[in-house]
Amino acid sequence: MSIQQPSKRAGNIVKKSNAAIRMGRRVSRQPYGQRRFMPRNMILLVLVIVALVGAYSYGRGKVVKIGDGDTVSILNSDGSFGKIRLYGIDCPENGQPGGAEAAAFTSDLAFLEEVKITTVNIDQYGRTVGMVHLPNGRMLNEELLRNGHAWVYRAYCKEPWCASWLQLERQAKAERKGLWAQKKPTPPWEWRKKNNSRR
């Protein structure tokens, strides 16, 4: 029985591989058909993006009541009522310095207006937590920050746009707008602790 000798080309490949190993280099081998799976990976990425975008829900309604600067009640298009807690910001409470001004500002911009709601989640009190978009295209959450009537609620504002909201807060503070005209305003989360008030 004869043993077939390896071809000259195969021998050269073996020699080059051995030489690469001796020099401490790793020989890369790409499995056959690997490129076949790239479209599946791309499809998976698209599905993940779609799922993230779809994590938010949207609705419309008329603002019929102002609870305080960051809480409003709306009449939904289906005739039901809902309470909206503005996501990512915290206004001074009613009874706290700056609270009445924040509520008045929200009322001036939103009361009896048809608004669009982007829901982020539902809080422990059953309130919708989200962004309120005004008829002029601006967002109530951002307008409160821009005009110095709210803090960024750092404990809960975790979305990518929260970084730009912090910049709005810093700018309002630098210009001493709204509550920042006070010498040392107390953040509402600290005020609530002292006064045993819920958020």
Active site residue 93: yes
d(CA 136, CA 153) in angstroms, rounded, equals 25
Active site residue 175: no
Active site residue 85: yes
Task: Give me 120's structure tokens.
Answer: 């982020």
Residue 29, C-beta contacts closer than 8 angstroms, at least 6 positions apart: none
Query: What size, in residues, is the chain?
Result: 199
**Looking at 85, 143, 146, 169, which residue is catalytic?**
85
DSSP state of 193: H
d(CA 129, CA 136) in angstroms, rounded, equals 21
**Measuring CA to CA, how many Å separate 93 from each of 152, 184, 187?**
14, 16, 10
**Looking at 29, 40, 113, 127, which residue is catalytic?**
127
Half-sphere exposure for 156 (CA within 13 Å, toward CB) = 16
The SS3 call for residue 63 is strand
- Catalytic residue numbers, as ranges: 85, 93, 127
